[in-house]
Amino acid sequence: MSANPMVCRPEAYWLFAKHLTALDETESLWRAAAAVSMHSLEHVSLDALDDRLTELADRVREGAKSGRETARLAHLHDVLFEQEGFAGNTSNYYSSLNSYLPAVLENRLGIPIMLSLVYKVVGERAGLRVEGINAPGHFLVRVFADGSWLIIDPFFQGQSLSRDEAVARLSELTGQPMGIYKEVLLPANHHQWLSRILSNLENIFAAEGRQRDLVAMSELKRLLWDST
């Protein structure tokens, strides 16, 4: 991996490659996701993004005086969904901006996988354990609190779902009957998380005829595949 990319902006390409070396860490996951946005967005500052995520997490911790997981979870939802108003972009779902972390943090709108990423980073910095759920046609998270896992839908402003409710939502969104829980509610590793972000963008760029951007995402995806 010594040659420069053919299409992808070099700063995006090499930053993405850098963070694949420690992809098990959430820090590398969000920074690699931010690198994807740097192919299209100007003046992306990782320091500014880090400060914003830290500020959100600090507010969660400050509100949860007891330090209990349930208190942190409640204040996580208060900060993200009540105070900040993070929500799914239902009016312009297929905008590529919904897949760019800097734009999602600024606009407080995004698609499920990116809102889930914000939820995961802020939640973990506030002391919670958060995992993505690589569901078909949608993306959810699960958070560990008070001895059990809770399923959360950040796209719908942090709604808490039972397993039955989650499967019913997936069936409704995809128009297809879902299988058993263990098949459709599996946790997402970070490689799958990034791959799905890139696939979403590939689909958008293909539909819009943005061939160079499509090739750029394919270049990043090859880096991701080669890192496994």
The parent domain of residue 208 ranges over 10-226
Among 65-69, 90-94, 95-99, 118-122, whose mean pLDDT is lowest? 65-69
Which residue has tokens 């496994």?
Answer: 228
pTM of the model: 0.95
Note whether residue 50 is domain-resident.
yes
- Looking at every residue in the chain, the average pLDDT score rounds to 94
Give the pLDDT of residue 36. Answer: 98
Residue 4: pLDDT above 70? yes
Residue 190: pLDDT above 80? yes
CB-neighbour burial class of residue 177 (10 A; exposed 0-12, middle 13-18, buried 19+)? exposed
User: What total number of domains does the chain contain?
Assistant: 1
Mean pLDDT of 139-168: 94
Residue 38: pLDDT above 80? yes
Note whether residue 2 is domain-resident.
no
Question: How many residues are listed for the chain in this entry?
Answer: 228
Note whether residue 187 is domain-resident.
yes
